[in-house]
A and B are shown apart, each in its own frame.
Chain A
Amino acid sequence: MKSGLAWVGRRLIGFLRFWWDFLVGDTPEITVVVLVVLGVVALASESAHQNVLAYVALPALVVGGLALSLMRARRRMKN
Protein backbone atom coordinates (compact mmCIF):
# COMPACT_ATOMS: atom_id res chain seq x y z
CA MET A 1 0.00 0.00 0.00
CA LYS A 2 2.78 2.41 1.06
CA SER A 3 4.90 1.58 -2.00
CA GLY A 4 1.81 2.05 -4.20
CA LEU A 5 1.24 5.52 -2.74
CA ALA A 6 4.92 6.36 -3.19
CA TRP A 7 4.70 5.26 -6.83
CA VAL A 8 1.63 7.47 -7.40
CA GLY A 9 3.41 10.39 -5.64
CA ARG A 10 6.48 10.02 -7.84
CA ARG A 11 4.36 9.90 -11.01
CA LEU A 12 2.38 12.96 -9.90
CA ILE A 13 5.54 14.92 -9.13
CA GLY A 14 7.00 13.84 -12.49
CA PHE A 15 3.81 14.94 -14.28
CA LEU A 16 3.77 18.33 -12.53
CA ARG A 17 7.48 18.80 -13.18
CA PHE A 18 6.94 18.09 -16.91
CA TRP A 19 4.25 20.80 -17.13
CA TRP A 20 6.33 23.24 -15.03
CA ASP A 21 9.32 22.76 -17.36
CA PHE A 22 7.04 23.00 -20.40
CA LEU A 23 5.20 26.19 -19.35
CA VAL A 24 7.75 27.98 -17.15
CA GLY A 25 11.22 26.37 -17.39
CA ASP A 26 14.02 28.94 -17.58
CA THR A 27 11.74 31.67 -18.97
CA PRO A 28 9.37 32.58 -16.11
CA GLU A 29 9.04 36.10 -17.54
CA ILE A 30 7.18 34.68 -20.57
CA THR A 31 4.64 32.92 -18.33
CA VAL A 32 4.17 36.16 -16.34
CA VAL A 33 3.70 38.15 -19.57
CA VAL A 34 1.01 35.72 -20.78
CA LEU A 35 -0.78 35.96 -17.41
CA VAL A 36 -0.64 39.79 -17.64
CA VAL A 37 -2.00 39.58 -21.22
CA LEU A 38 -4.91 37.42 -20.01
CA GLY A 39 -5.67 39.82 -17.14
CA VAL A 40 -5.51 43.04 -19.20
CA VAL A 41 -7.51 41.67 -22.15
CA ALA A 42 -10.13 40.10 -19.85
CA LEU A 43 -10.55 43.44 -18.04
CA ALA A 44 -10.78 45.41 -21.30
CA SER A 45 -13.07 42.99 -23.11
CA GLU A 46 -15.26 41.42 -20.44
CA SER A 47 -15.48 44.13 -17.74
CA ALA A 48 -14.97 47.47 -19.53
CA HIS A 49 -16.41 46.30 -22.91
CA GLN A 50 -13.54 48.10 -24.68
CA ASN A 51 -13.18 45.85 -27.72
CA VAL A 52 -10.72 48.08 -29.64
CA LEU A 53 -8.48 48.42 -26.58
CA ALA A 54 -8.58 44.62 -26.14
CA TYR A 55 -7.57 43.74 -29.70
CA VAL A 56 -4.85 46.41 -29.79
CA ALA A 57 -3.45 45.57 -26.34
CA LEU A 58 -3.26 41.82 -26.96
CA PRO A 59 -0.61 41.75 -29.75
CA ALA A 60 1.12 44.85 -28.31
CA LEU A 61 1.65 43.13 -24.96
CA VAL A 62 2.85 39.94 -26.71
CA VAL A 63 5.45 41.95 -28.69
CA GLY A 64 6.48 43.82 -25.53
CA GLY A 65 6.83 40.52 -23.67
CA LEU A 66 9.05 39.04 -26.38
CA ALA A 67 11.30 42.12 -26.41
CA LEU A 68 11.51 42.04 -22.60
CA SER A 69 12.44 38.34 -22.55
CA LEU A 70 15.13 38.90 -25.21
CA MET A 71 16.58 41.84 -23.25
CA ARG A 72 16.70 39.72 -20.09
CA ALA A 73 18.41 36.83 -21.92
CA ARG A 74 21.03 39.10 -23.54
CA ARG A 75 21.80 40.84 -20.25
CA ARG A 76 22.20 37.46 -18.53
CA MET A 77 24.52 36.15 -21.28
CA LYS A 78 26.69 39.28 -21.31
CA ASN A 79 27.30 39.07 -17.54
Chain B
Amino acid sequence: MIASVSASTSTVVLCAAVFLAASVEMIEALTIVVAVGHTRGWRSALEGTGVALLCLSAIVGAFGPALVRVPLGPLRLVVGSVLLVFGLQWLRKAILRSTGFIGLHDEDAIYEKTVTALRAEGKPVGRDNVAFVVAFKGVFLEGTEIVVAVLTLGTSAHRLGLAVIVALVAVLVVAGIGALVAKQLSQVPENLMKMSVGVMLISFGTFWTGEGLHVRWPGGDTMLLALVVLYALVVTVLSRSARDPRAIEAGRA
Protein backbone atom coordinates (compact mmCIF):
# COMPACT_ATOMS: atom_id res chain seq x y z
CA MET B 1 0.00 0.00 0.00
CA ILE B 2 2.74 2.48 1.08
CA ALA B 3 4.86 1.40 -1.90
CA SER B 4 2.02 2.02 -4.35
CA VAL B 5 1.26 5.46 -2.82
CA SER B 6 4.93 6.54 -3.05
CA ALA B 7 5.19 5.18 -6.63
CA SER B 8 2.10 7.11 -7.73
CA THR B 9 3.40 10.25 -5.97
CA SER B 10 6.65 10.12 -7.92
CA THR B 11 4.72 9.48 -11.17
CA VAL B 12 2.52 12.55 -10.60
CA VAL B 13 5.55 14.73 -9.79
CA LEU B 14 7.39 13.36 -12.86
CA CYS B 15 4.41 14.11 -15.16
CA ALA B 16 4.01 17.62 -13.72
CA ALA B 17 7.73 18.38 -14.12
CA VAL B 18 7.88 17.14 -17.73
CA PHE B 19 4.60 18.89 -18.68
CA LEU B 20 5.67 22.26 -17.24
CA ALA B 21 9.22 22.09 -18.67
CA ALA B 22 7.91 21.17 -22.14
CA SER B 23 5.22 23.90 -21.99
CA VAL B 24 7.66 26.68 -21.04
CA GLU B 25 10.08 25.84 -23.87
CA MET B 26 7.24 25.30 -26.36
CA ILE B 27 5.85 28.78 -25.61
CA GLU B 28 9.24 30.30 -26.46
CA ALA B 29 9.55 28.26 -29.68
CA LEU B 30 5.98 29.09 -30.72
CA THR B 31 6.57 32.82 -30.20
CA ILE B 32 9.48 32.71 -32.66
CA VAL B 33 7.61 30.59 -35.26
CA VAL B 34 4.52 32.82 -35.12
CA ALA B 35 6.69 35.94 -35.48
CA VAL B 36 8.43 34.40 -38.52
CA GLY B 37 5.13 33.21 -40.03
CA HIS B 38 3.44 36.61 -39.68
CA THR B 39 6.42 38.53 -41.05
CA ARG B 40 7.88 36.32 -43.79
CA GLY B 41 5.08 33.89 -44.65
CA TRP B 42 4.01 30.58 -43.16
CA ARG B 43 5.46 28.16 -45.71
CA SER B 44 9.16 28.56 -44.87
CA ALA B 45 8.39 29.00 -41.15
CA LEU B 46 6.54 25.68 -41.06
CA GLU B 47 9.23 23.96 -43.16
CA GLY B 48 11.91 25.10 -40.69
CA THR B 49 9.72 23.91 -37.80
CA GLY B 50 9.17 20.51 -39.47
CA VAL B 51 12.89 19.91 -40.15
CA ALA B 52 13.77 20.91 -36.56
CA LEU B 53 11.16 18.46 -35.20
CA LEU B 54 12.62 15.68 -37.41
CA CYS B 55 16.14 16.38 -36.06
CA LEU B 56 14.85 16.32 -32.46
CA SER B 57 13.00 13.02 -33.09
CA ALA B 58 16.27 11.55 -34.45
CA ILE B 59 18.11 12.63 -31.26
CA VAL B 60 15.45 11.02 -29.03
CA GLY B 61 15.51 7.87 -31.21
CA ALA B 62 19.31 7.65 -31.03
CA PHE B 63 19.91 8.41 -27.35
CA GLY B 64 16.66 7.29 -25.69
CA PRO B 65 17.07 3.49 -26.06
CA ALA B 66 20.80 3.70 -25.23
CA LEU B 67 20.14 5.60 -21.97
CA VAL B 68 17.57 3.02 -20.84
CA ARG B 69 20.31 0.33 -20.87
CA VAL B 70 22.67 2.27 -18.54
CA PRO B 71 22.69 0.92 -14.90
CA LEU B 72 20.27 2.90 -12.75
CA GLY B 73 22.62 3.88 -9.86
CA PRO B 74 25.33 5.74 -11.85
CA LEU B 75 22.66 7.14 -14.23
CA ARG B 76 20.74 8.67 -11.31
CA LEU B 77 23.92 10.18 -9.86
CA VAL B 78 24.92 11.83 -13.16
CA VAL B 79 21.38 12.91 -14.06
CA GLY B 80 20.70 14.09 -10.49
CA SER B 81 23.83 16.27 -10.53
CA VAL B 82 22.96 17.75 -13.95
CA LEU B 83 19.39 18.43 -12.81
CA LEU B 84 20.70 20.17 -9.67
CA VAL B 85 22.88 22.49 -11.78
CA PHE B 86 20.13 23.06 -14.36
CA GLY B 87 17.39 23.55 -11.72
CA LEU B 88 19.47 25.94 -9.58
CA GLN B 89 20.26 28.03 -12.69
CA TRP B 90 16.53 28.21 -13.58
CA LEU B 91 15.52 29.11 -10.03
CA ARG B 92 18.24 31.74 -9.66
CA LYS B 93 17.05 33.48 -12.83
CA ALA B 94 13.34 33.17 -11.96
CA ILE B 95 13.87 34.58 -8.43
CA LEU B 96 15.99 37.47 -9.76
CA ARG B 97 13.16 38.24 -12.22
CA SER B 98 10.44 38.06 -9.59
CA THR B 99 12.41 40.35 -7.25
CA GLY B 100 12.95 42.93 -9.99
CA PHE B 101 16.72 42.53 -10.34
CA ILE B 102 16.43 41.49 -13.99
CA GLY B 103 13.58 42.14 -16.44
CA LEU B 104 10.73 39.64 -16.84
CA HIS B 105 11.06 37.33 -19.84
CA ASP B 106 8.62 39.24 -21.99
CA GLU B 107 7.19 37.23 -24.91
CA ASP B 108 5.86 40.47 -26.46
CA ALA B 109 9.41 41.88 -26.51
CA ILE B 110 10.77 38.68 -28.11
CA TYR B 111 7.99 38.83 -30.72
CA GLU B 112 8.64 42.48 -31.57
CA LYS B 113 12.42 41.97 -31.68
CA THR B 114 12.10 38.98 -34.03
CA VAL B 115 9.61 40.78 -36.28
CA THR B 116 11.81 43.91 -36.51
CA ALA B 117 14.91 41.87 -37.35
CA LEU B 118 13.07 39.87 -40.01
CA ARG B 119 11.51 42.98 -41.62
CA ALA B 120 14.96 44.56 -41.86
CA GLU B 121 16.11 41.58 -43.96
CA GLY B 122 13.58 42.29 -46.75
CA LYS B 123 11.36 39.68 -48.36
CA PRO B 124 12.99 37.50 -51.08
CA VAL B 125 11.32 35.97 -54.12
CA GLY B 126 10.68 32.19 -53.87
CA ARG B 127 11.96 30.12 -50.90
CA ASP B 128 12.68 32.25 -47.81
CA ASN B 129 15.92 30.93 -46.32
CA VAL B 130 15.97 33.51 -43.49
CA ALA B 131 12.50 32.45 -42.31
CA PHE B 132 13.47 28.78 -42.58
CA VAL B 133 16.68 29.21 -40.54
CA VAL B 134 15.12 31.43 -37.84
CA ALA B 135 12.19 29.01 -37.35
CA PHE B 136 14.54 26.00 -37.40
CA LYS B 137 16.91 27.52 -34.83
CA GLY B 138 14.08 28.61 -32.53
CA VAL B 139 12.36 25.22 -32.55
CA PHE B 140 15.61 23.22 -32.42
CA LEU B 141 17.18 25.15 -29.51
CA GLU B 142 14.04 25.27 -27.37
CA GLY B 143 13.24 21.66 -28.37
CA THR B 144 16.70 20.51 -27.25
CA GLU B 145 15.86 21.71 -23.73
CA ILE B 146 12.62 19.70 -23.85
CA VAL B 147 14.56 16.63 -25.07
CA VAL B 148 17.14 16.99 -22.26
CA ALA B 149 14.36 17.26 -19.66
CA VAL B 150 12.42 14.29 -21.09
CA LEU B 151 15.47 12.03 -21.45
CA THR B 152 16.95 12.81 -18.03
CA LEU B 153 13.70 12.73 -16.05
CA GLY B 154 12.22 9.81 -18.03
CA THR B 155 15.21 7.47 -17.98
CA SER B 156 16.07 8.05 -14.31
CA ALA B 157 12.51 7.27 -13.26
CA HIS B 158 12.51 4.30 -15.69
CA ARG B 159 9.43 5.84 -17.31
CA LEU B 160 10.80 7.22 -20.57
CA GLY B 161 7.66 6.26 -22.53
CA LEU B 162 5.41 8.12 -20.10
CA ALA B 163 7.71 11.18 -20.09
CA VAL B 164 7.67 11.29 -23.93
CA ILE B 165 3.85 11.06 -24.02
CA VAL B 166 3.46 13.83 -21.38
CA ALA B 167 5.89 16.08 -23.28
CA LEU B 168 4.01 15.47 -26.56
CA VAL B 169 0.71 16.33 -24.85
CA ALA B 170 2.27 19.56 -23.49
CA VAL B 171 3.61 20.47 -26.95
CA LEU B 172 0.22 19.76 -28.57
CA VAL B 173 -1.69 21.73 -25.91
CA VAL B 174 0.55 24.79 -26.31
CA ALA B 175 0.48 24.44 -30.13
CA GLY B 176 -3.33 24.21 -30.02
CA ILE B 177 -3.62 27.33 -27.87
CA GLY B 178 -1.11 29.05 -30.18
CA ALA B 179 -3.18 28.14 -33.24
CA LEU B 180 -6.28 29.55 -31.58
CA VAL B 181 -4.78 32.86 -30.49
CA ALA B 182 -2.55 32.88 -33.61
CA LYS B 183 -0.28 35.60 -32.32
CA GLN B 184 1.01 35.61 -28.78
CA LEU B 185 1.17 33.66 -25.58
CA SER B 186 2.23 36.59 -23.46
CA GLN B 187 -0.67 36.11 -21.04
CA VAL B 188 0.90 32.91 -19.72
CA PRO B 189 2.74 33.73 -16.46
CA GLU B 190 6.03 32.33 -17.72
CA ASN B 191 8.16 33.26 -14.72
CA LEU B 192 5.85 31.43 -12.31
CA MET B 193 5.99 28.35 -14.57
CA LYS B 194 9.78 28.60 -14.73
CA MET B 195 9.94 28.79 -10.94
CA SER B 196 7.72 25.69 -10.62
CA VAL B 197 9.89 23.78 -13.10
CA GLY B 198 13.04 24.86 -11.24
CA VAL B 199 11.57 23.59 -7.94
CA MET B 200 10.76 20.23 -9.54
CA LEU B 201 14.15 19.93 -11.23
CA ILE B 202 16.09 20.47 -7.99
CA SER B 203 13.70 18.14 -6.14
CA PHE B 204 14.36 15.34 -8.63
CA GLY B 205 18.05 16.31 -8.70
CA THR B 206 18.33 16.10 -4.89
CA PHE B 207 16.40 12.81 -4.73
CA TRP B 208 18.34 11.04 -7.48
CA THR B 209 21.73 12.39 -6.39
CA GLY B 210 20.97 10.91 -2.97
CA GLU B 211 19.86 7.58 -4.48
CA GLY B 212 23.01 7.50 -6.64
CA LEU B 213 25.12 7.95 -3.47
CA HIS B 214 23.17 5.22 -1.61
CA VAL B 215 21.31 7.59 0.71
CA ARG B 216 18.24 5.86 2.19
CA TRP B 217 15.47 8.50 2.11
CA PRO B 218 12.93 8.39 4.95
CA GLY B 219 9.55 7.46 3.43
CA GLY B 220 11.10 6.23 0.15
CA ASP B 221 9.68 7.90 -3.00
CA THR B 222 7.26 9.98 -0.87
CA MET B 223 10.29 12.07 0.15
CA LEU B 224 10.20 13.51 -3.38
CA LEU B 225 6.93 15.29 -2.56
CA ALA B 226 8.40 16.54 0.74
CA LEU B 227 11.38 17.96 -1.18
CA VAL B 228 9.02 19.75 -3.63
CA VAL B 229 7.17 21.34 -0.68
CA LEU B 230 10.42 22.28 1.11
CA TYR B 231 11.98 23.89 -1.98
CA ALA B 232 8.71 25.69 -2.89
CA LEU B 233 8.68 27.25 0.60
CA VAL B 234 12.35 28.24 0.35
CA VAL B 235 11.83 29.83 -3.08
CA THR B 236 8.77 31.74 -1.81
CA VAL B 237 10.77 33.09 1.13
CA LEU B 238 13.78 34.00 -1.05
CA SER B 239 11.53 35.73 -3.62
CA ARG B 240 9.80 37.85 -0.96
CA SER B 241 12.77 38.62 1.24
CA ALA B 242 14.97 40.46 -1.21
CA ARG B 243 13.03 42.59 -3.65
CA ASP B 244 14.94 45.29 -5.51
CA PRO B 245 13.87 48.62 -3.90
CA ARG B 246 14.29 50.41 -7.27
CA ALA B 247 11.88 47.95 -8.93
CA ILE B 248 9.37 48.36 -6.07
CA GLU B 249 9.59 52.17 -6.38
CA ALA B 250 9.06 51.89 -10.16
CA GLY B 251 5.99 49.71 -9.51
CA ARG B 252 4.52 52.33 -7.13
CA ALA B 253 5.12 55.17 -9.60
Contacts and interface: CB of A to CB of B under 8 A. Distances in A.
B89 A30 contact: yes
Contact of B81 (A25, A38, A45, A55): A38
Contact of B210 (A27, A58, A74, A77): A58
Interface residues on A, range: 20 to 34
5 contacts: A27-B88, A30-B89, A54-B213, A73-B92, A74-B101
Interface of B: 81-82, 84-86, 88-89, 91-92, 95-96, 101-102, 202, 205-206, 209-210, 213-218, 223, 227, 230-231, 234, 238, 242, 244
Given A23-B82, A34-B85, A65-B88, A74 B242 contact: yes
Given A23-B82, A33-B88, A77-B101, 9 more contacts: A22-B86, A30-B85, A30-B88, A58-B206, A58-B210, A62-B231, A66-B91, A69-B92, A77-B96
Contacts of B230: 59
* Consensus secondary structure, chain A interface: helix
Given A23-B85, A46-B214, A51-B216, A38 B92 contact: no
A61 to B, nearest CB: 9
A22 B85 CA distance: 9
Contacts of A74: 96, 101, 242, 244
Contacts of A54: 210, 213, 215
A62 B191 CA distance: 21
A30 B227 contact: no
Nearest to A54: B215
Contact of A70 (B202, B227, B238): B238
